Structure 1
Amino acid sequence: MMISTWRKRRAARLAGKQRLESEMGDIEVTIPNHFRCPISLDLMKDPVTMSSGITYDRESIEKWIDAGHVTCPITNKVFRSLDPIPNHTIRKMIQDWCVANRSYGIERIPTPRIPVSSEEALEIHSKIETACKQGDRIGCQNLAAKIKALAKESERNKRCLEATGTAGVLSYAFEEFSKASFDENVAVLEEILSSLTVLLPHDKATTYLASDASMDCMVWFLKSEDLSTRRNAVLVLKELVPLDYRKVDMLSEIEGATEALFKLIKAPICPAATKASLLVIYHMVTPSSSSPTNAKIVSKFVDLGLVSLLLEMLVDAERSLCEKAMGVLDGICDCDQGREEAYNQALTIPVLVRKIHRASDLAMKFSVSILFKLCMNEKRENGGVLVEAIQRNAFEKLLVLLQVGCDGRTKEMATRLLTLLNAYRNRVDCIDSADFKDVKKHF
């Protein structure tokens, strides 16, 4: 299918002018055919030759190979090797041609950087390990910076570094330097942490980053005044915490960790850091088989004012942020103190009812779950939560939800909620659940 489409496009282009319009009015410059990529038919910027003997632009042939093809698009023969070889001769000819035609507005193509190879990556790994053994923090810092630069240079470099386990080597270095004098190693640890944000997640990285010394260092960076450092720390923790709930317990016991995570939400640095912080908090407040109750952690976040902050965020949050904030609120409402704080917030029911059909399927599930927990644990005789939910059209929205369809657990909760709400339906009048004018918000 891809070959057919390519052939049609090639035929159409060859039938056309095959010219590159210059910035000099009506003058047109014809691109020599052997300077064109056989796939894109555009001027090659980084010509490479495959084992079939055909030269392509690197970006085009790598997309072809990444799509799962192992044959040459021109000869249809199976590649003996999938490694493209830079064609310096053709590249130099193209550059000379560009220079010769610069008066027509044609710019010289830059000399492309050669992508990092597996051998080069492994050589960097060896140097990092040697630097760690010798306590060479400057050398290790420079190598970590080099890795980050290579990973950002191209997606191909990043894939190569990931495939060779560079994240695991950097994590090993982070642990080694975190064990020594922290004051002397701050700079190298910062650089390693910054490089890890580009390459995580990686299975081998978690072994070293989960150690006591590594976790202490990351929380220290999480509490730092430097915004970039705090961002890098929370992005690494986001990849680390979901893999093992023991790390959640470890993190929650480190002094200042909960406050630092809360600060990232209260005083946002960037959307990525806010979402990462919410994900870490979600795993901290959500019960698990190894940690069935997180009341102590929830209590810390409730005392900091996280519930009101989440509700204010949810009023107009975009989809991804909404899902994460709802997930955290759902975990908080598993505990008595969390539910009590939710009862006391004027935005709770209006926001929850509004999100049943407004955000996404995941946000809807969390919304129904939170409503269920609040309504099932309602202890006031006048049914305050149930009455307000009816006023905000919760009954109608839950009926629509059952008609549209949802997963089994959500359906069960919605059905039980409807039974509870039905007892109060004739006692109150409904109001628009999207109207927040009468709700006091604690901004």
Structure 2
Amino acid sequence: MEADRGALAQSMIDAVNEIASISDYRGTIKRQYGNLAMRWKLLIPLLEEIKDRIRALASLVEALNSAEELLRFRTEGGKIYLVLEREQIMNKYHEVTSKLEQALNGISFENLHISDEVKGQVELVLGQLRGAKREVDSPDVDSNKELFALYSESSDTALVQAVLRRLAERLEMMKKADIKQESLALHEMVCGSGGDPGESIERISMLLKKIKDFVQTENLDMDLPPGQKNVLPSFSKSSVDGNKGTPVIPDLFRCPTSLKLMKDPVVVSTGQTYERSCIEKWLKAGHRTCPRTQQTLFSTTVTPNHVLRSLIAQWCEANGIEPPRPPNSSRPTACFRAECAKVEFLVRKLASGNPEEQWSAAREIRLLAKLNAGNRVAIAEAGAIPFLVRLLSTPALRIQEHAVTALLNLSICSENKGNIVSSGAVPGIVHVLSTGSMEARENAAATLFSLSVVDEYKKTIGASGAIPPLVLLLNEGTQRGKKDAATALFNLCIYQGNKGKAARAGIVPTLMQLLTEPGGEMVDEALAILAILASHTAGTAAIGTAKAVPILVELIRLSSPMNKENAAAILVRLCAGEKRHLSEAKEMGIVEPLADLAQNGTDRGKRKAAQLLDQLSHFVEQQQEGSGKGQSRGRGSGTG
């Protein structure tokens, strides 16, 4: 038994050393993950001392395994995925941190006769873990929002190019090797999906292509000779035939029946993907089973696999192969005609005037629009959008909810945004935002964010009266609703004319409340919006009235780098207007955390900290000059 305990302790020590050796964390929040590995390493002396007296440490072993899994994922996962799924990943980080804290708290160190020095180290780790919830960097909110905006935006404007440059720099995807790593990570995700990539992978694939095209166009890879452009590498880790020098087609891209590269991949009812011509030939021969699984097909309808087709095209481009094109046909297939007929039937039901038919049609269109890009285009071309817009003003709340959510799903397609706005949807969406059910209000807020990605619509939406109900939802919505409202408000307030509207709608007190809520789940969003509002006189005045200085000073002292940066930016605006805010910040002890931010913060955080320190220096000099003049006048009157 003693030998088993010793072996258990040794296995834990080995695991800690394995964790400590993990490095090169990808994406954002690197420091926190490095700190997590470092904290584990500090526990090695504890494990050494209790090697022969170890007791119930199963929970500590479990926590070790969870930490190793999380840290390895951070080094091997795709960077775009890590940013898009930031909330889920941060939840996992908190879960692992809590596991470690609970495991250490469950050990009775008094009975283990360990040294005071080791006890001190354990207490240090526990203290750091307790404070981790306050100190942890939230994932890069700006990158998250910009990635989602890029997914919805198809134009090649200067603004989009600037966003692409920022993302390529932040995600460290400026060189050929960076793009290669990301594409390999995407390939692993596709393989792990069982051949049925979902919308998340479709989004990542599209975003990776946009960043790759930007890097290629800008010739940013300094490892290449001048004038030579990047290419996206193969998705396969062993993609070149050593004998022939030709790329080996990944299994995922081959039709399971012909084993050839698919030109027009389609999905059957069992979820398997085949080349269209092959599966249609199989079905025409009278077969009603899936060739690969032998399962009975409950439907002979096939659905285009747009995601896989896009991945195949990227792989071909990366390997210098002409992308396969599906055979042209002057007339649509029977399957396509059936899909169009279904959409047209639903549009007729929307126009029927029968509430029950309108409800069922709006519900089905909502679900169809959620499935894929092809459906979104087909629904818009069938003329559904104007009828959905009319349903936004119906008194039937359940029809409202399906109509606004259908418009939300349709708006994902950038070509549909203009159609939605030109159909007069914005006032109707604002009506739902103000009077609908909570779910409808939240989806209306998300729709306004989706539309406001187009700069010219920010003004239209702001002028429609959307901002006050968004502020109300920010105050009283569910957690998801608050995030939808915050995201929409952030995007709208980028337009200068909407900042005053937001300040007058009472957004600042609500944002200040979110900064002090237990758990701090909305601190990132609240600070980002306040930083935008602070550039407007009405916003600055409202922030000053809200007595924000003590909260901002505390955030500069303890928050994440991005939040410190935004808090400092807000204070710069406040203190430039009124010296009393400088005096208050000085009394709150801001100098030391500002000095740390000026040394260790983000680039923008360093600049804002330097500005504040400069303001404080001038303020102190003015106080000293005023004090000196007062003393001089006092001495002069005394001698007379």
Please state which band the TM-score falls in when normalised by the shorter chain.
Answer: 0.5 to 0.7
Matched, 1:72 2:251: yes
1:229 to partner: Cα distance: 1.7
Matched, 1:126 2:312: no
Structure 1, residues 337-364: CA drift from partner, whole Å, max 9, x if none?
Answer: 3222222223x11221222364444323
Amino acid at match of 1:117: T
- What are the within-5 Å matches in structure 2 for residues 380-395 of structure 1? 383-395=579-591
Residue 460 of structure 2, aligned match among 250, 254, 263? 250
Aligned match of 1:413: 608
Aligned match of 1:201: 412
Amino acid at match of 1:310: L
Residue 537 of structure 2, aligned match among 333, 336, 345? 336
Check conservation: 1:355, 1:364, Cα contact below 8 A. yes
Amino acid at match of 1:250: T
Amino acid at match of 2:196: E
1:145 to partner: Cα distance: 1.8
1:166 to partner: Cα distance: 4.5
Aligned match of 1:351: 551
- The number of equivalent residue pairs is 335
Amino acid at match of 2:426: M
Matched, 1:370 2:570: yes
Instruction: Assess, with a 3 A threshold, how the Cα gap between structure 1 residues 261 and 93 changes in structure 2: closer, same or farther.
Output: closer
Amino acid at match of 2:501: I
Q: In the aligned structure 1, how far is the partner of 2:387 from the partner of 2:413?
A: 18
1:151 to partner: Cα distance: 6.8
1:376 to partner: Cα distance: 1.3
Check conservation: 1:172, 1:205, Cα contact below 8 A. no
Aligned match of 1:61: 195
Matched, 1:275 2:486: no
Matched, 1:310 2:511: yes
Check conservation: 1:129, 1:169, Cα contact below 8 A. no
Instruction: Assess, with a 3 A threshold, how the Cα gap between structure 1 residues 258 and 60 changes in structure 2: closer, same or farther.
Output: closer
Structure 1, residues 110-144: CA drift from partner, whole Å, max 9, x if none?
Answer: 99888872535444333345556777776554333
Q: In the aligned structure 2, how far is the partner of 1:71 from the partner of 1:363?
A: 44
Matched, 1:83 2:266: yes
Q: In the aligned structure 2, how far is the partner of 1:59 from the partner of 1:123?
A: 31
Check conservation: 1:124, 1:143, Cα contact below 8 A. no
Q: What runs of 5+ residues in structure 1 fail to find an aligned partner?
A: 1-56, 96-109, 153-157, 429-443
Residue 142 of structure 1, aligned match among 349, 355, 360? 360
| Structure showing the higher helix proportion among its residues | 2
Identity of aligned residues (%): 18
Aligned match of 1:285: 493
Check conservation: 1:172, 1:208, Cα contact below 8 A. no
SS in 1 for 2:412: coil
1:374 to partner: Cα distance: 0.7
Instruction: Assess, with a 3 A threshold, how the Cα gap between structure 1 residues 217 and 313 changes in structure 2: closer, same or farther.
Output: same
Q: In the aligned structure 1, how far is the partner of 2:382 from the partner of 2:510?
A: 34
SS in 2 for 1:83: strand
- What are the within-5 Å matches in structure 2 for residues 146-295 of structure 1? 146-149=364-367, 158=371, 161-166=372-377, 169=380, 173-178=384-389, 182-183=393-394, 188-198=399-409, 200-211=411-422, 213-244=424-455, 246-255=456-465, 257-268=466-477, 270-286=478-494, 288=495, 292-294=496-498
Check conservation: 2:411, 2:417, Cα contact below 8 A. no
Amino acid at match of 1:327: A
Amino acid at match of 1:388: E
Aligned match of 1:16: none
Q: In the aligned structure 2, how far is the partner of 1:275 from the partner of 1:208?
A: 26
Amino acid at match of 1:311: M
Structure 1, residues 246-283: CA drift from partner, whole Å, max 9, x if none?
Answer: 3332233335x333112112212x22211121222223
Query: Once structures 1 and 2 are overlaid, which stretch shifts more, 230-239 or 128-137?
Result: 128-137
Check conservation: 2:540, 2:574, Cα contact below 8 A. yes
Q: What runs of 5+ residues in structure 2 fail to find an aligned partner?
A: 1-190, 206-234, 237-248, 271-287, 305-335, 625-640
Instruction: Assess, with a 3 A threshold, how the Cα gap between structure 1 residues 63 and 181 changes in structure 2: closer, same or farther.
Output: closer
TM-score by length of 1: 0.62
Q: In the aligned structure 2, how far is the partner of 1:83 from the partner of 1:294?
A: 46
Check conservation: 1:235, 1:276, Cα contact below 8 A. yes
Amino acid at match of 1:297: K
1:423 to partner: Cα distance: 4.2
1:397 to partner: Cα distance: 1.8
1:167 to partner: Cα distance: 8.3
SS in 2 for 1:334: coil
Q: In the aligned structure 2, how far is the partner of 1:325 from the partner of 1:112?
A: 50
RMSD: 4.2
Q: In the aligned structure 2, how far is the partner of 1:63 from the partner of 1:191?
A: 26
Aligned match of 1:437: none
Aligned match of 1:102: none
Residue 617 of structure 2, aligned match among 412, 422, 425? 422
Check conservation: 2:474, 2:482, Cα contact below 8 A. yes
SS in 2 for 1:61: coil
SS in 1 for 2:266: coil
1:326 to partner: Cα distance: 1.2
Instruction: Assess, with a 3 A threshold, how the Cα gap between structure 1 residues 78 and 297 changes in structure 2: closer, same or farther.
Output: same
Instruction: Assess, with a 3 A threshold, how the Cα gap between structure 1 residues 83 and 354 changes in structure 2: closer, same or farther.
Output: same
Q: In the aligned structure 2, how far is the partner of 1:375 from the partner of 1:416?
A: 10
Q: In the aligned structure 2, how far is the partner of 1:364 from the partner of 1:334?
A: 17
Instruction: Assess, with a 3 A threshold, how the Cα gap between structure 1 residues 250 and 149 changes in structure 2: closer, same or farther.
Output: closer
Instruction: Assess, with a 3 A threshold, how the Cα gap between structure 1 residues 60 and 364 changes in structure 2: closer, same or farther.
Output: same
Instruction: Assess, with a 3 A threshold, how the Cα gap between structure 1 residues 319 and 357 changes in structure 2: closer, same or farther.
Output: farther
Check conservation: 2:572, 2:608, Cα contact below 8 A. yes
Q: In the aligned structure 2, how far is the partner of 1:141 from the partner of 1:332?
A: 40
Q: In the aligned structure 1, how far is the partner of 2:583 from the partner of 2:192?
A: 65
- What are the within-5 Å matches in structure 2 for residues 428-443 of structure 1? none
